[in-house]
Each structure stands twice: as structure tokens, then as C-alpha cells.
Amino acid sequence: MTVSDTHLLTVENLSVTIPSSAGAVRAVDRVSLALERGRTLALVGESGSGKSMFCRAVMGLLPRSAVVPGAARVTFDGRDLGGLPRRELAAIRGREIGVVLQDPLSSLNPVIPVGRQIAEPMRYHLGLSSARARERAVELLAAVGIPQPEERLGAYPHQLSGGMRQRVAIAMALACEPKLLIADEPTTALDVTVQAEILNLLGRLQRERNMAMVLVTHDLGVVAGRAHETAVMYAGRIVEKAPTVELFTRMRMHYTRALFDAIPRIDDPPHRELGAIGGQPPGPAAQRVGCPFAPRCWRAEERCRTEEPPLARDAGENHSYACWFPLSQEERP
Amino acid sequence: MRFLGGKLLHLVLVLLAVTALTFVLLDVLPVSVAHEIAGQGATPADVAAIREQLGLNDSVPVRYGRWLAGICRGDLGLSLYSKQPVSTAIASHLPVTLELLLLAQLFALTLALPIGIVSAWRADSKLHRLLGTLGFGLASVPSFALAVVLVYLFSLRLKWFPATGCTPLSEGVRVNLKGFVLPALSIALVEWVALMRVLRSDMIATLQEDFILLARARGLPDRRILLRHALRPSCFTMLTLFGVQTGNLIGGAVIVENLFALPGVGRLLLSSIFSQDFPMVQGCVLLIAVGYVTVNFVVDVCYGMLDPRVRREASGG
């Protein structure tokens, strides 16, 4: 993969291992991807598939004990993040990469009024005066759709509803006008009615501000119509990656199909059983031989258990997958 | 207002319970006040006269009621021996105790806050373990043993501070403070460890929170994250403990006050107990109970200052 000017973020061969008493846990396994300015990449996978750890690695906020093998390279806006001194890295994190996490209640400091929390990075990174930062905080709260933003500045997180909190968290992430927004399961902890609102808000803000976005979710249903490209993760690896429309129409992985079947549909007959995937994802510490999905895959053959399929694409296509026996035309949904 | 009213009622109940209990306990002590006052050569008639005069022949409830009635008039009574008003005696001993208390707690916080924060921040490092061991060691030493070591080092060897005694504030702040440094330090060196340990463990938990991860993601420097974002939500247990410690010190650090010959409430209380000077003991007990409840009240108010979520509950009743 080459670094081109249009790419805001490129990740090459990123692995993250975390030592534990049961042996080294490989949370992220040889992940490579690239994201253009203003585009959205969705990362989809079950819990524990390494999505969040991947995001933390990009932000440079891994747990202290985590080890990133040397071959990894993360380039952001033309700069190799691995080679930057701590201080510069912190400045990039604060100004150019915004983050929204799953649980808005724990994402906000319970003892600081939300206005001050939004203003803080602007004062610190952009050197705004407190009056100017306050003004900007009001603008941001208005931009994320909070009514009477001036009155909300002094509110504490516990005084707001879940949806409001997530809007505040988004305002916080946008404070310094980042080029990249990492949204790690931004709607998982919210009421269903609020989920769509928040996703639409993120989409609108992204278009208006020409931000790139990494949208992490376990729900393949969230991705449709919102992400330009979708990468499916399993056991720390990217196992399938394609433009979203292509992925939905021509999915090749049995795992992707299983995720797809787990989405409830409005035209389903009542009480249809959702397609749950039997078994558990492999413990990340397990010594890995063969395809990690093989134990749960209905198509697995001997080869799948002994030989790991590489992430590769068919000639002339922008669709990569890691499977020895990809879904055929008839098997697609 | 309801909050305040509840606290006041609480205070009154605590005071009644504590003073009544002390009254009963004092009565059980095997000391005859009348004999003591009458002296060696007194006849049984003299002793009986003194008993009658002091009202010692009445039953405990009657005496307690009399004492309570006095309290309601604002009269703490007179010492059985010196005939000095109890309020005067307490007023002269209290400043010493308060100064010792303030200084000791100031030292303890000065040690506990930075060390607790740093060792939570570097929770997986050698420094953390070293501080843990050192703290454990210090906490296992009783304060009087520490006091002896401190006196040896800083007054006998280095001659920086006096070994005993207390100079009144009127003779200069510096001289006065100097006399308090070693006693306060021998209390603080034992107390800070517990404060540090609870702060550290709460802070380690806070640092795991998402909002800390996000603060780091916003590129804020560690210093700011620790002090502005992590410290306040991590202070609760420490504050509670701090309150308990302060409450204990209002009764005077008896051993330390005796070691350093400081005329504080602790010494007054101790000598009054031995001589069964019950108006004096009752006065001290009253002071301690009021002090305890006041400290607890202040701690409650501080909770509200630290965390807006508590504020809402308190105002809601």
C-alpha cells in the first residue's frame, strides 16, 4: 500500500499484543487499511474482535503493557505517528483526531460542567480566551442539536439525558475541528429511538466539516448507507473489506453473511429466529492455526483448520477477503 | 434547610448519648473524689461533708440532670479540685490542640496528596511498590515511637526544634510554630499513609474511566489530567478518612501531647479522668463530641462541593 496525498490515515501491518498470565493476547493482528479525507470507514465485528483496541492504537492510547511489533506503521496526514515525540503526538491527538466512545455517561467527567469540558481543548490547543472558547462551545452545542445551548453550558453530565450526553460528547470531539473522527460504538449504549438521530447527526457533521470518520460498530445494519467502505474484523484480523455497497451485494465471507443474518428485518415474518452464530470467538491467546473462524464455520474443511487464508482480492476488484471457500453467487443474501 | 435541621437534631442526640454514657462510666471508676479532696488526715465526717457539698450522694440520673440543666444555662460547672470554671480550663487548652491538629493534618495532606497521585499514575512501576512498602512500614510504627526518633534526630542531634514544651503565640509565631513541628510530624507521619493509600486506590480506579481516556485523547498533558480530571472524583474515601482522623485529634493526641509536654485537651482530659474530676471530663467529652459532629458536617458539605451529584441528593432531602 502506498501513501498518497488523498489518504488521511494509513495503517500498515498493525498488530497489538497484550501480555497476560495466559500468554500474550493478540488483540489486533496485522491490520492494514487506508482512509481518504472526508470518507467514512466502518469497522464491524463482534465484541472482542479488536475494533476498540485498533482505535486506541491509532490514537496512541494503548494500555501501558501493550506491545506493538516494529513492522507497524501508522501515518496520519503525511506524518508517521510512530516517529513523533510524545508532545507532538498529544497535539495531533487533541487537535486533529476527535474521539467519541460508547457510553456517554462515563465519557464525560461527572464533576465538571459540560461547557468547561468542551472549552478545555480549545483553550489548551488553540489558545482561545475563556470568553471566546465559551462562545465556540455554545456554537458547538447548537451544531449538535442541543436546544438552549447557553443554558446547558453549566449543566453537569448527570443532569442530561443519554442522547444529550452523547451530543455533548460529540461536541467535545469536534471542538478543535478534527480531520478525523473516531466513533467507537457511538450508539450502542443509547435508546433505539436516539440511535438513528445520533448517526444522522454524525453523518451530517462529517459532510459539513469534510471530516474523515472511522465508525466502529458490531451492528452491520448501522453501516448501510453511512460508510463508504466497510471492513469486517474477526479475532483481531480484517477478514473482509470492500466498498459498502459492494460488500452488501457481493459478500464473500461466511462470517459477514452470519452478521448480515443477525440483522432483524421489517419484512420478516413474526418470530423468525435471527441468525445467531453458534460458538464463541476464539480466545485471543489461543495458539492460532488455520482460519480463526473455522471452528464456527459451516463450510470449514480440513484446509481451513491447518492453513490461514490470506486477506487478498480478486484481480481487478476492490474487494478483499480472507477465505479459502468464499460464498458463491447463490449463497449471497 | 431540612438538611441543616436534620444535622442539628443528630448533634443533640449524639451529645446526649455520649455525655450520659460518660457519666455512668465515671461513676464506676474506683476513685473517691471526696477522699482525694479531703486529704490524708481527714476524718470520715470531713469526707461525708465534702460528699454532701459536692452533691455526690445523689443518684447518677439526678446528677446528670443537674449537669444538663447547667449546660442549658451555658454553665459547664467548676473543677472539683481547683474550682476553676471548666470553660476557662478548656479555653486555655483548646488552642494548643487545634494548632497541633491543623499542623498535623496539613503535613499529612501535603505528603498524601502528591505521593498518592504520583503512585496511582505510575501504578505498575517500581516506585509504586517502593512507596507502598515505605508507607506500610511507617503505618506500622506507633506515633510515640516515631516521636522519640524524631526528637532524637531533630532536637538532640540537629537541634532544629525544641524537644518539649510550648511557647505561647504571644511570644512570636516562629517560636510558637517551632514547638509544634515535631509533635505534628509524629502524628502526620503515621496518618498520611492511610490517606495516601485510599487516595491511590480510588485514583487508580478513576484513571481506568473513559473520561480519562478521552482527556488523554484530547491531548491534554498528564499533569492537567491528573489534577483537574482525576483528583476530584477520587477524593471521597480520603475525605471521609480525613474527617475521622481530624475528629480523633480534637480529643487531643493524648500520647503525643504528653510526650512533648503540650498543654492540650488530651492532657487535660487524661488528668481529669484519673482524678475523677467529672465536670472537667464532661466538659472535654462535650467538646470532643461537638467537634466530631462538626467535622462530619463539614465533610458532608465538602462531598457536595466535590461532586455535583451529591449536591442534588442533599437538596432533595
A3 in contact with B, Cβ within 8 Å: no
pLDDT value at B27 more than 50: yes
Residue A88 lies in a domain: yes
Write down the CATH number for the domain with range B91-144+190-315: 1.10.3720.10
Residue A2: which pLDDT band, with cuts at 50, 70 and 90? very low
Residue for grid cell 451555658: B74
Residue of B nearest to A96 (CA): B218
Chain B closest-CA separation from residue A70 CA (Å): 23
pLDDT score of B113:
94
pLDDT score of A315:
74
If you average pLDDT over every residue of chain B, what do you get?
A: 84
Chain A closest-CA separation from residue B158 CA (Å): 45
Residue A273: which pLDDT band, with cuts at 50, 70 and 90? low
pLDDT in tens, B175-219: 778 888 888 888 898 888 899 999 999 999 999 999 999 998 888
- Out of A128-137, A305-314, B59-68, give the one with best mean pLDDT: A128-137
Chain B closest-CA separation from residue A93 CA (Å): 5
Residue A2 lies in a domain: no
Phi and psi, residue A120, nearest 5°: -55, -55
* Nearest beta carbon to residue A111 from set B215, B220, B307: B307
Q: Which of B30, B228, B103 is nearest to A117 (CA)?
A: B228
SS (H, E, C) chain A: CCCCCCEEEEEEEEEEEECCCCCCEEEEEEEEEEEECCCEEEEECCCCCCHHHHHHHHHCCCCCCCECCCCCEEEECCEEHHHCCHHHHHHHHHHHEEEECCCHHHHCCCCCCHHHHHHHHHHHHHCCCHHHHHHHHHHHHHHCCCCCHHHHCCCCHHHCCHHHHHHHHHHHHHCCCCCEEEEECCCCCCCHHHHHHHHHHHHHHHHHHCCEEEEEECCHHHHCCCCCEEEEEECCEEEEEEEHHHHHHCCCCHHHHHHHHCCCCCCCCCCCCCCCCCCCCCCCCCCCCCCCCHHHCCCCCHHHHHCCCCCEECCCCCCEECCCCCCCHHHCC
Q: CB distance B220–A124 less than 8 Å?
A: yes
Q: Which residues of B touch A177 (CB under 8 A)?
A: none
pLDDT in tens, B133-147: 887 787 788 878 888
Q: Which residues of A touch B210 (CB under 8 A)?
A: 101-103, 106-107
Put simply, the chain B residues between 91 and 150 with a CB less than 8 A from any chain A CB are 124
Residue of A nearest to B305 (CA): A111
Cell representation of residue B27: 461513676
B66 in contact with A, Cβ within 8 Å: no
pLDDT in tens, B92-112: 899 889 999 999 999 999 999
Domain boundaries, chain B: 32-75, 91-144+190-315
Which one is predicted more confidently, A123 or A270?
A: A123
Q: CB distance B209–A106 less than 8 Å?
A: yes
Residue A276 lies in a domain: no
- Out of A20-24, A70-74, B165-169, give the one with best mean pLDDT: A70-74
A124 in contact with B, Cβ within 8 Å: yes
This model's pTM is above 0.90: no
Which one is predicted more confidently, B280 or B38?
A: B280
Rounded to a whole number, what is the distance in angstroms from the first to the last CA of chain A?
31
pLDDT value at A1 more than 50: no
Residue A278 lies in a domain: no
Is the Cβ–Cβ distance between A95 and B222 less than 8 Å?
no
Q: CB distance B308–A101 less than 8 Å?
A: no
Residue A3: which pLDDT band, with cuts at 50, 70 and 90? very low
Residue A5: which pLDDT band, with cuts at 50, 70 and 90? low
pLDDT in tens, B6-24: 778 888 888 889 888 888 8
Residue A280 lies in a domain: no
Max Cα separation, chain B?
86
Burial A181-217 (b: 16+ CB within 10 A, else e): bbbbbbbbbbeeebbebbbebbbebbeeeebbbbbbb
Chain A closest-CA separation from residue B14 CA (Å): 33
pLDDT score of A154:
92
Q: How many CB pairs under 8 A join A and B?
A: 72
pLDDT score of A284:
56
Rounded to a whole number, what is the distance in angstroms from the first to the last CA of chain B?
9
Query: Cα–Cα distance between B232 and B280 in angstroms, integer?
Result: 41
Residue to mutate among B202, B218, B312, with most A CBs inside 10 A, is: B218
Residue B315: which pLDDT band, with cuts at 50, 70 and 90? very low
A65 in contact with B, Cβ within 8 Å: yes
Is the Cβ–Cβ distance between A306 and A324 less than 8 Å?
no
Chain B closest-CA separation from residue A99 CA (Å): 7
Q: CB distance A156–B308 less than 8 Å?
A: yes
pLDDT score of B1:
61
Least confident of A41-45, A280-284, B230-234: A280-284
- Out of A273-287, B27-41, B234-248, give the one with best mean pLDDT: B234-248
A325 in contact with B, Cβ within 8 Å: no
* Nearest beta carbon to residue A103 from set B210, B220, B307: B210
Cell representation of residue A35: 482512509
Range of the domain at A84: 7-264+289-331
The mean pLDDT of A64-90, rounded to a whole number, is: 86
pLDDT score of A65:
84
What lies within 8 Å, CB to CB, of A88 at 6+ separation is: none
- Can you give the CATH number for the domain in which A142 is found? 3.40.50.300
pLDDT score of A117:
93
Residue A302 lies in a domain: yes
pLDDT value at A211 more than 90: yes
pLDDT in tens, A291-333: 888 888 888 888 888 888 888 887 777 888 888 888 877 777 7
pLDDT in tens, B218-263: 888 889 999 989 999 999 999 999 999 998 888 777 888 888 888 8
pLDDT score of B29:
72
* Count of domains observed in chain A: 1
pLDDT value at A80 more than 80: yes
Task: State the ipTM, two decimals.
Answer: 0.84
* Nearest beta carbon to residue A90 from set B221, B307, B309: B221
Residue A270 lies in a domain: no
What lies within 8 Å, CB to CB, of A95 at 6+ separation is: A121, A125, A126, A176, A177, A178, B219
Q: Which residues of B touch A86 (CB under 8 A)?
A: none
B312 in contact with A, Cβ within 8 Å: yes
Q: Which residues of A touch B307 (CB under 8 A)?
A: 110-111
Residue B314: which pLDDT band, with cuts at 50, 70 and 90? very low
Query: Cα–Cα distance between A68 and B98 in angstroms, integer?
Result: 56
What lies within 8 Å, CB to CB, of B45 at 6+ separation is: none
The mean pLDDT of B136-161, rounded to a whole number, is: 81
pLDDT value at B31 more than 90: no
Q: Which residues of A touch B214 (CB under 8 A)?
A: 99, 101, 107, 169, 172
Q: CB distance A172–B218 less than 8 Å?
A: yes
pLDDT value at A131 more than 50: yes
Residue A163 lies in a domain: yes
Q: Work out the percent of chain B whose per-residue pLDDT is above 90.
A: 18
